[in-house]
Amino acid sequence: MMFAVIALLFPVIFWLLDGLVRGRIQRHRTGDSGIRIPRTAKQWWARGTLAAGMLLPGVAAPIAELLGLPAVPLLDHWPIRVTGLALATIGVLASFGAQQAMGPSWRTTVDPTERPALVTSGIFAIVRNPIYTSINVMVIGLTLLVPNGIALAGLVFVITGSQLQVRLIEEPYLREIHGPSYREYASRVGRFVPGIGRLHTTHQPQK
């Protein structure tokens, strides 16, 4: 029960840091909050899938456990749940830090009318999408923290949503506005994990 209650805090913390606090910092620095509403059906599907992947393990799974839904026996062990708590904490903080590292280029989703600068330094020199990497770490942590079937479904959703958002929305947009600069960057830096998912100069992802 204790772990389920703790898990419920993470969506609130995430929203406060990555939404309210980050938006206010962005507005203070640039005069613009950086918050954008999806414009296309493709954007809505990607963002919706990603949001479901966060809400299922962060809200639905802990509530279900409090109501009596049993955990997956293989994962229902105290050390695994504590590991999940640590990963979820790291994921939340890392996501906020990665958003801070984007500086004025930070947006909640792409706006085709805008041309923010390409960020390739700091954590972005290690992976191209550290925010999504961090969100996935957070959700893996939440899944281990409250390891029931709902949380496991959420993990599938967040992985799928991250892939949709990056591959179908953000990478085509960045290739369009930054051209050779982005292709060169993407050819040497991994997508979510260092060294994995680099793009060939022919614009095709590595197998």
pLDDT profile of the chain (207 residues), mean per 10: 92 86 85 86 93 95 96 96 97 94 90 92 96 97 97 97 95 95 96 92 49
Question: How far apart are alpha carbons 158 and 50 in whole angstroms?
Answer: 5
Question: How far apart are alpha carbons 152 and 65 in whole angstroms?
Answer: 13
Distances, alpha carbon 200 to alpha carbons 18, 87, 126, 184, 189, in Å: 32, 32, 17, 9, 11
Q: pTM for the full model?
A: 0.91
Q: What is the structure's pLDDT at 203?
A: 45
Of 51, 22, 17, give the one whose Cα is nearest residue 139. 51
User: Per residue in 139-181, pLDDT tens?
Assistant: 999 999 999 999 999 999 999 999 999 999 999 999 999 999 9
Top-level class of domain 2-188 = mainly alpha
